[in-house]
Structures are given as structure tokens and as C-alpha cells.
Structure 1
Amino acid sequence: MKLPEPHTKTFSTLVGEIENGQIKIPQFQREFVWTMQKSAALIDSIIKGYPIGTFIFWRTNERLRSVKNIGKLDLPEPKPGEFVDYVLDGQQRLTSLFASLQGVILTREDGREDNFSQIFIDLEAQDSEQIVITDIASKDEKSLMSILNLLKGDFMLLASYPDKYHEKLKNYKNRIESYQYSIIQVKDAPIEIATEIFTRINVSGQALSLFEIMAAKTFDYEKNFDLTEKFQELIENLKPLNYETISDATVLQVVSIILSKECKRQVILKLDKNSFIDIWDKAIDSIERSVEYFRNFYRIPVSHLLPYNALIIPFSYFFFHHKDKPTDDKQRYLEDFFWRCSLSGRYSSSVESKLAQDIKRIDEILAGDLPTYDWSIDTSPEFIKDNGWFSTSRSYVKAILCIYVYHQPKSFNDNSIVNVSNYWLKQANSKNYHHFFPKAHLKKQDYFDWYINHILNITIVDDFLNKREIKAQAPSKYMAKFQAINHDLETTMKTHLIENLDTFGIWNDDYEQFLSERAKVVSREISKRIIKQEIDKKGQSNLVDDFEEELTTIE
């Protein structure tokens, strides 16, 4: 990278370079938000000879996705191989200048139009007053001239104004046209440096996201590749599957893992542009097949229940290399991997490093071998009772919720399947979550909150039951009502892993018995999904440490 070079340019030079497509607004710049009044104040400063700050351009022959040019006007693309000056600092000022001095009609994001030809010179204003204005309601028409007419009007128009204004008109026009705009040009810098410069000088202090940088870096005009548009296409495809909450960062990590078996930020930033574009469609296909597998085989109906978004990454890697659904040992080993990560707090910290380790385990599964693990899983009922405090931020809790929905829980009153939605599952007080022993009922018995809000006390029901029918009644009371109208209530409750109404302490409202009996059932369900290894017999200290780390992250 060469040292930045200072330049000055006149307005006509800047306008020429904008109109021929040499100056562009990169995608990672924010939208143009200046009002016409603020733009008028900028022109006022120029007329008075005040400094308006320095523009910083990044000169490169790379082609980035740019915002619809300056002011969203349809301006030409530069010829292949030609340099482009991308605006790193000064987008609001430059767009204001161009719009104001060219009389542009700008369409805002909300559809509102601003006509920048309606910015005027007040020929009666003194130098100490605002000379360039937008509010002309109380002004004499003959004492006003638009900026556009000042710069582009012919001699006859200027001569039509009273003689007393001619000297001012001449001076103001000359000041605008001869004003030297200060520019610093950054040359021969990679996009990572350019975006870092942008981040540091951005007055809002808001750092660019990795996705914004990669969207700029991977844009290819000839290949019609726009990462932002491609990601939105993926999200639209996932909406009918209720997996639209997958993040853009996760998608980048999938591509990186496939290309390099790593997904740290610095690795993603160094990915080859052409390799990224070439692999995109296959990577997206692997994500979609992972989602289908989560939905169909593990019966996880919505992405909010997925214990970690990060699980999409190793599974996408698997399906990238394995074109069919896994069967026999591979299916079993992959299931073991899923639940070990979900139940252990695996991706609560150091996610990128752990993913790099786990891709090696996926390679073993692809080869038909059972991986070894350096963390254990305790499937015992006692462990579930001791570590089941309810928080939807905990992967352990989400994993058990996934086991609950696997059994397709039915409505207590009519045995219909409960609808589970991403919208309802955003918060711990979701409409889908019901405390089988209601909180108000248990608080009267002086139970601690963490013991009341326990995953073993949670059932997944619909809003009608949760809010209107059950409320704060003791289980023996509200379940008696359901027993009277649902003659197959025993079968219904088995879909909630409540296997026996008589032995689960329901009729005598025994919370301790209920937790103990349900813990046994959940323990059995977890055990079905885990392939026991030697490490699982040696103790659970590392698992407890992971839980503590996860709880710290939540707090």
C-alpha cells in the first residue's frame, strides 16, 4: 500500500468523474440521509470560502458492489481495467454537492422525493447571514436564484435580474466553480485496509460487519454475483421452512469451512473471490439440505429451537461432501455429534476454533468412523434435575426442547398437533411454553424461581390452553377438566413425555415426584441419541464447566 496522496479538485472535475462513473459509493457506506437544509448549509460554506472537510477516496481497479451511484442516479459503469475512486469518507457531503449543484431529484428509502433544484441563493442576504436557503416563503422572487440556474443559466437569465445583484451573482458563481475540494487518495490497498480506514473515520463509530466487507469484496459485475442479493434469496427460500433466522455470518462461515476447513474472521477475509463465487451455489445447497435434515430427521420445526446456529456449519460441510442422506453408522454418528454439541454447551465460546476441530470429526464420520470426544455427556436423571434451569439462551435447554417437539406434542383438550413458530419462541415467556405446574401455584409453596422455571416443568402447548384454560390452576384441577373432554388424554400426555398420569404426581399435585419421573423419561430419550464412550464414564466436571461458561455468557 502506498502512502495516501493529497489532491485538490474543482467542482467541474468532480462532477465529470461522477458522471463518467469513476467516483462511486461502495455498498458498505450507509444511505444518504442529509436533508436539503443541511445540503444548503454546505453550499453556503463553499460560497463563503469556509473549509468543508477532506474527502477520502480509495482508488482501485477492483469492482465492488456500489450503491446506485451518487444520489442513486443511473450512471455508467467504468470500463474494465479502469480505476475507480470509492468514497471512504465524505459520502453525505459529496452526494449533497452533486445533488445540489446539478439540481437532482432524489428518491429516499421511504419513497419521499427531494428536489434539490429548489435550493436558492438569497441575493439580499449579508455575508454574516445564511446566503443559501430552502425556505423562500417570505422572499421576493426577484431576489432569489436557484443554485442550478446560477451555474447553468444563460446570459439572458442572469441579465434579467436587477443590476444591483449582478456583482453578487458573478462572485457567487465564481466561488462555487473555483472552490478547491480537498481529497486524500488511498492507492494500492486491499479491501480489508480500505474498510478498516472507513471504520476508523466513520463518525458514528459503527464498525463494518464481516458480511458488509465480504459483500463488497466478492461483488462481480460480469458474473452477476451480489452477495447481499444472494443471501436474501437464501432467506426467502428458508422462510417457508421456518429457518429464516439463520445469520449472514453463519453463511459466510459455511463457505469458509468448505473452502479452508476454518472460519475465523481473518480466514474469511482472505478467501479468494473467484473460489467464493464458484462454490456459492453448492454451499447454499448444502445449507438447505442441512435444514431439511434438521426438520425431517430430528424434527426440529423452527430455527429458534436449534441449540446453536453454528450447528448448521459442520452439517453443511457434511452435506457438501455427502450428496445423499446418511444411513446406518453415518446417520448414528452424526446424530451422536449433534446431541453432544447441543447438550454440552459446545459452541458457547471459542466457536471458530471448536468448529475447526469438529470438522475433523465430520471428516471421520464421512469416512465411516466414530469420532472420539474430549468432553463427556451425563444422561442421568440427577444431572438433568440439577442443571435444567430454564433459559432459551441455553443450548442444553434448547436440546431438551428439541426432544419435546420431536414427539410432536398434542393439545391437551383435543389431541391436535401444537403449532410451534419462530415468532412465538423468541422469548422465554413464549406462548408455546407452559409451566405444567404453574408458577403462581408453586410460588405459594416457597419454591425457588430456578426450580420452578425448570425445563422438566415445561410443556409445549398452544396459546389457547396456556392463557385461557390452564392459567394458575394446580395440575390436578385443570387436568381433571381435560380428562373429561379428551378421552385419550393418556396418549396425549405421552407426546409431552408425561407417560403416566397416576405415577407422575399429577393428581396429588406432587411437584417433586413429577420432576423425578419426567427426568427419567428425558434421560432415556437423551441416552437413545448418544453413543456412550469411555469419557462419559469418567465424570462430568468438564461438562459442568461448559455450563458455567455458557451461563456467564448469558449474563
Structure 2
Amino acid sequence: MLQPENQNKKYDFLFADIDSGRIKIPKFQRDFVWSKEQSAKLIDSIIKGFPIGTFIFWKTTDELRHVKNIGNVNLPDPPSGEPISYVLDGQQRITSLYAVRKGVRLTKDGVEINYGDIAINLDLDPDSDEQVVSVDPPAGVHYITVHDLLTSDLKDLIQNHMDYIEKIDIYKKRLTTYDFSTIVINNYPLDIACEVFTRINTGGTELTLFEIMVAKTFDSEQNFDLAERYQWLMDNKNNGKDLEDAGYDTIPASTVLQCVSACLTGQIRRRDILRLNKDQFIQTWPKVTDAIFSAVDFFRSYLRIPVSGLLPYNPLLIPFTYFFYKTNGNPPDHLQEKLLSQLFWWISLGSRYSSGLENKVAQDIDRVNAILRHEKPNYQGEEIRLSMDDLRYRGFSAGDAFCKALLCLYAYQQPCSFSNNSLVKMDNSWLKTSISKNYHHFFPRAYLGRIGIPSWQANSVLNITIVDDFLNKRVIRDKAPSDYMKPFLERNKHLAQTMRSHLIDDLEQFGIWQNDYQTFLNMRGQRVMDELNSRLYPVME
């Protein structure tokens, strides 16, 4: 790797490179956010000869996703085959200078900002302690905009500013002959260039792997922009199937990247993702996204998990996407369905992906390979044996993987409304916290508190049912179960069927009419235990 090269560039040379497309701003940079006040102060500092910091460029023949316009000014395409200098440090400064020079107009929060209005007060001395550059043309003085100063020909300058032409010449020379300090790093690998960017721009906050891969895989000739493809995968504005329509729009970009890497290499480590071949990544993207949809369909249909907000771990999608990638989207047979279901519950109930994710996903991909061969995966030494206390004393938290696994079990039953036996709608936006519109403590915590049950016992995951917002917040509230269930008994002729959809088989036996919380926990706990064990240890026919 070559050492950084120190260079000084004059104003005209610097901006000629922007005008020719040889300097670009990579799209992982933040948007242009400097105000006119900051831009005016920067111009004033240059006029007075103050240092304004160093620009750092990464010179490479790699094509990155880059900024294509600044306000109303379109930036030219880079010259074909020539190396491009991407701005790693100094984006806001160089964009400000360019915006002023071009007289850029851009809109922020519905308000148009005209950088062509930034002006120099010609009645002040260039070396005055006062700031000679103002945001807008100053009233009652003679002025020239910086844009006109840099772009007008001599004839126009003489005609409009005859008495100030010498001072204008001073200002123009100070701007155009200013030595901009630049450092160029030549042909650094992308991940190293991004490391440089991280260290000098964001106080140690690392660029995300997705941001780096967006830059790395960008290809204008193949019309591939990973950021746009990911957004299209999430929501394609009614132009075909997408994850939003499927209720799986909370799947993060990092998980999608890991799905691609798993399908191509069987690994999801950062270094494996960074080493993915660009062309191979682009070519395999459609097949991987098809496999993602197939995995989501399996979650929704066979496991009956209607929305991604219920998934114990987002990376659960990875081994299942791998399965469908390898089968070219063909559905699993009966044996494979059972084995895949077992894998899902084993991962979810064992807190498997809470740590050491990369190695564990690689191991689980090996288990998927066994399932592809119609062999039972080996779980020896990693068996899950649940006890009643594991359920009874597990406090409910919407972010806890074990609790979310139980929510998946509850969702599998297709819970129905206490009021009319209709299916309860579940929505990602309702499932983020433990006080969600969908989560209901069957024995309300306020009621249990009144009869002396401590809060930690009242919040047992076995006390959670999935209901609709209307019943949860407006009908049930803090009433005793025997009180709020009686009207439903009269109103809903299918109430017994409704309650079975909540794994509550009999209101009498489960202690509902007696308001017996301990009996309820024991009976529902056994019901839940039986369901979980049938999934962890299925009977193979």
C-alpha cells in the first residue's frame, strides 16, 4: 500500500477537477448540510489567508456510488477509465465552495437557499477584523457576490464596479491563488479507505458494513445500486412483491447482506462479506432475494409468524434463506418441513444467536446442509430441556428472544378476538414494546397488584395473550378475569374455540372463573410446554 501523497492545489485546478468529474463525493458521506453562514465564513477565512484544513482524497479506478448533483447543479459523469478522486475528508467545505462558485440553489425543509447571494462588502478593507463576506448582499454598501466575482468577465466587472476594480482584483486573486492543502491516498483497498474515512470524519463511529458494500457493489453499467435494491426489496411501491406487503419490513440491511454472503460462501463474517466479488454479488442478488421471499413465506405459512416483529432474531432468516437458495426456491418436503421447524425452535428457545452469531450461523448452515440431504441435524450436547419454572418465572419483555419465541407460538395458534372470534391483526408497528397494543396480560397486572401478587410474578410470559387494541385498552383494562370474561361468554358463542386459540383450553379448569392466578399459570404453562416440546422433539414419520 502506497504512502499518502501531500499536494497543494489552487482554486481553479481544484474545481476544474469537479467540473470534469474527476473529483466525486462518495454516497456514504452525509448530505450537504452547511448553512450559508458557515459557507460565508469559510470564504472570509480564505480571503484573509487563514488555514481551512486539509482535503483528503482517495484516488482509485473503482467506481463508487457518488453524489450526482448539488441543488440545481448536476455534476458530470466521471471520465471513462480514468481514476477518480473521492472526497474522504472536507466534503462540507469543498461542497460549500463549489455551491458558492456555481450559485447553487437548493431546498431545505421547503425553503430555497441561494448560495449565489453570498456577497463581499467592497466598502471594507480585505484585511479588516470584521467579516467582509455576508450571507446576503448587505444594504447601503457597495458589494459583489462571490459568484459574480469568480465567473464574470473583466468587461462586466469594470462596467458594474468601476470604482472598486482594484479591490475586486485583490479578492479574486486571494480566492483563486489560495493553496488548498490536499492529501491523496492512491489505490487503497476499499475497506482501508473506509477505515480512513471513519477515523477522520466520525470520531471513531465506524461506517456500517452495508454502507461500505453499497459503495463497493455500485455499478452504473449494470444499473446496480445496493441501497436502492434494498429499499426496493423492502417497498417497491406496488410494483410487485416486497417485504412490506409480507409484513417483514423490519429486516435490517445487515441481515440481507449476511443472507447474500451465506448463500455464496456459507459464512457471514465481516471479512467474508467484504471479500465478495462485485460481479458475483450483483449476479446472485435476484436469486438470493427470491430465496428471502421463500424463507419469509415459510415463516408465514408453515410457522404462522405473520410479521417480522415477532422473530426472536432477525438472523434467523439467514439459514432459511440458504435452504431455499440451494433448492432454487422449491418447497421443502414433509420431512424437511419438520426438520426446519425444529431448527427454528432450537435456535429461538436456546438463546443461540445472542452471542457468537457468525460462528453459530455457519454451524447452522451445516445443519441446513444435512436437512437438504434429508438427514436429521446433530444437536448432541446442545439439547434444550425446558422446565415449568423456565416458563412460569420468565418475565415478559418484548425484546427478549425467548419471550418472542413464545409469542411466535401464540401467533401460530392464530389468536382470535375474545369479542367475536375474528382473527387478531398483528402489525410490526404495534409490537415494539411490552406495552404494545397487541400484548395483554390475561390477569391484568393492576388487578394482580391489588390482590398482593408482586409485579415480577404478574409479568410472567405465561400471562401474555395477543389481543386487539380495542379490547386491551378500552374493555378489559384492570378488571378481574371473571368480570371481563362474562360479557364475552354471552356475546361470543364460539368462546371456547376462541380461548383454545390462546392456549387456554377450559376457563373453569384454568382458574379463570375463580380468578386463580397460580392455577392459570400451571395449566397454561403445561399447555405451552407440550407445544414447545412437540416442536423441539418432533416425531419423525
CA distance in structure 2 between the aligned counterparts of 1:332 and 1:163, rounded to whole angstroms: 88
CA distance in structure 2 between the aligned counterparts of 1:408 and 1:228, rounded to whole angstroms: 35
C-alpha deviation, 1:106, in angstroms: 2.9
The equivalent residue for 2:391 is: 384
CA distance in structure 2 between the aligned counterparts of 1:113 and 1:204, rounded to whole angstroms: 31
Query: Is the Cα contact below 8 Å between 2:338 and 2:538 reproduced in 1?
Result: no
C-alpha deviation, 1:448, in angstroms: 2.5
Listed as ranges, the matches of 1:267-306 within 5 Å are 267-306=272-311
CA distance in structure 1 between the aligned counterparts of 2:226 and 2:208, rounded to whole angstroms: 13
C-alpha deviation, 1:270, in angstroms: 1.5
Task: Report the residue type matching 1:522 in the other structure.
Answer: V
C-alpha deviation, 1:213, in angstroms: 0.5
* Residue in structure 1 matching 2:322, options 317, 324, 328: 317
Which stretch has the larger CA shift, 247-256 or 366-375? 366-375
Query: Does residue 211 of structure 1 match 2:210?
Result: yes
1:246 and 1:259, CA in 2 relative to 1: closer, same or farther beyond 3 A?
Answer: same
Per-residue Cα deviation, 1:78-99 (whole angstroms, up to 9, x for no partner): 2332100000000001011111
Which stretch has the larger CA shift, 467-476 or 226-235? 467-476
C-alpha deviation, 1:380, in angstroms: 4.2
Query: Does residue 452 of structure 1 match 2:453?
Result: no
Per-residue Cα deviation, 1:9-29 (whole angstroms, up to 9, x for no partner): 111111211111000000111
Listed as ranges, the matches of 1:80-479 within 5 Å are 80-108=80-108, 110-126=109-125, 127-140=128-141, 143-160=142-159, 164-203=163-202, 205-236=204-235, 237-322=242-327, 323-373=329-379, 374-386=381-393, 388-479=394-485
CA distance in structure 2 between the aligned counterparts of 1:284 and 1:445, rounded to whole angstroms: 53
CA distance in structure 1 between the aligned counterparts of 2:503 and 2:480, rounded to whole angstroms: 19
C-alpha deviation, 1:71, in angstroms: 5.5
| Ranges in structure 1 where 5+ consecutive residues have no aligned partner | 534-555
* Residue in structure 1 matching 2:505, options 499, 510, 526: 499
Query: Is the Cα contact below 8 Å between 1:18 and 1:70 reproduced in 2?
Result: no
C-alpha deviation, 1:167, in angstroms: 2.1
CA distance in structure 2 between the aligned counterparts of 1:51 and 1:426, rounded to whole angstroms: 49
SS in 2 for 1:138: coil
CA distance in structure 1 between the aligned counterparts of 2:493 and 2:163, rounded to whole angstroms: 98
CA distance in structure 1 between the aligned counterparts of 2:516 and 2:384, rounded to whole angstroms: 29
Task: Report the residue type matching 1:48 in the other structure.
Answer: K
SS in 2 for 1:186: strand
CA distance in structure 1 between the aligned counterparts of 2:451 and 2:494, rounded to whole angstroms: 31
The equivalent residue for 1:12 is: 12
The equivalent residue for 2:46 is: 46
SS in 1 for 2:74: coil
CA distance in structure 2 between the aligned counterparts of 1:153 and 1:320, rounded to whole angstroms: 61
C-alpha deviation, 1:501, in angstroms: 1.1
C-alpha deviation, 1:372, in angstroms: 1.1
CA distance in structure 2 between the aligned counterparts of 1:364 and 1:258, rounded to whole angstroms: 15
CA distance in structure 2 between the aligned counterparts of 1:383 and 1:426, rounded to whole angstroms: 23
C-alpha deviation, 1:259, in angstroms: 1.2
SS in 1 for 2:353: coil
CA distance in structure 2 between the aligned counterparts of 1:351 and 1:530, rounded to whole angstroms: 21
Which stretch has the larger CA shift, 472-481 or 200-209? 200-209
C-alpha deviation, 1:531, in angstroms: 2.1
CA distance in structure 2 between the aligned counterparts of 1:136 and 1:206, rounded to whole angstroms: 39
CA distance in structure 1 between the aligned counterparts of 2:75 and 2:255, rounded to whole angstroms: 34
Task: Report the residue type matching 2:54 in the other structure.
Answer: T
1:412 and 1:147, CA in 2 relative to 1: closer, same or farther beyond 3 A?
Answer: same
CA distance in structure 2 between the aligned counterparts of 1:158 and 1:219, rounded to whole angstroms: 45
The equivalent residue for 1:32 is: 32
CA RMSD in angstroms, aligned pairs only: 1.6
CA distance in structure 2 between the aligned counterparts of 1:411 and 1:334, rounded to whole angstroms: 30
Task: Report the residue type matching 1:469 in the other structure.
Answer: V
Query: Is the Cα contact below 8 Å between 1:32 and 1:71 reproduced in 2?
Result: no
- What TM-score, normalized by structure 1, do the two folds share? 0.92
CA distance in structure 2 between the aligned counterparts of 1:18 and 1:80, rounded to whole angstroms: 15
CA distance in structure 2 between the aligned counterparts of 1:410 and 1:425, rounded to whole angstroms: 17
C-alpha deviation, 1:163, in angstroms: 5.5
C-alpha deviation, 1:253, in angstroms: 0.4
Task: Report the residue type matching 1:87 in the other structure.
Answer: V
Query: Is the Cα contact below 8 Å between 2:72 and 2:106 reproduced in 1?
Result: yes
C-alpha deviation, 1:135, in angstroms: 3.5
Query: Is the Cα contact below 8 Å between 2:72 and 2:105 reproduced in 1?
Result: no
1:315 and 1:98, CA in 2 relative to 1: closer, same or farther beyond 3 A?
Answer: same
C-alpha deviation, 1:182, in angstroms: 1.0
Task: Report the residue type matching 1:189 in the other structure.
Answer: Y
1:8 and 1:343, CA in 2 relative to 1: closer, same or farther beyond 3 A?
Answer: same
SS in 1 for 2:428: coil
SS in 2 for 1:59: strand
Query: Is the Cα contact below 8 Å between 2:137 and 2:145 reproduced in 1?
Result: no
Task: Report the residue type matching 1:466 in the other structure.
Answer: N
Task: Report the residue type matching 1:14 in the other structure.
Answer: L
Task: Report the residue type matching 2:140 in the other structure.
Answer: K
Per-residue Cα deviation, 1:484-535 (whole angstroms, up to 9, x for no partner): 22222111111111001111111111100000000111111112212269xx
CA distance in structure 1 between the aligned counterparts of 2:153 and 2:72, rounded to whole angstroms: 28
Query: Is the Cα contact below 8 Å between 1:120 and 1:133 reproduced in 2?
Result: yes
CA distance in structure 2 between the aligned counterparts of 1:419 and 1:148, rounded to whole angstroms: 58
CA distance in structure 1 between the aligned counterparts of 2:135 and 2:358, rounded to whole angstroms: 53
C-alpha deviation, 1:205, in angstroms: 4.4
Query: Is the Cα contact below 8 Å between 2:255 and 2:314 reproduced in 1?
Result: yes
The equivalent residue for 1:75 is: 75
**Alignment length, in residue pairs?**
529
SS in 2 for 1:129: coil
SS in 1 for 2:244: helix
What percentage of aligned pairs have identical amino acids?
A: 48
C-alpha deviation, 1:136, in angstroms: 3.3
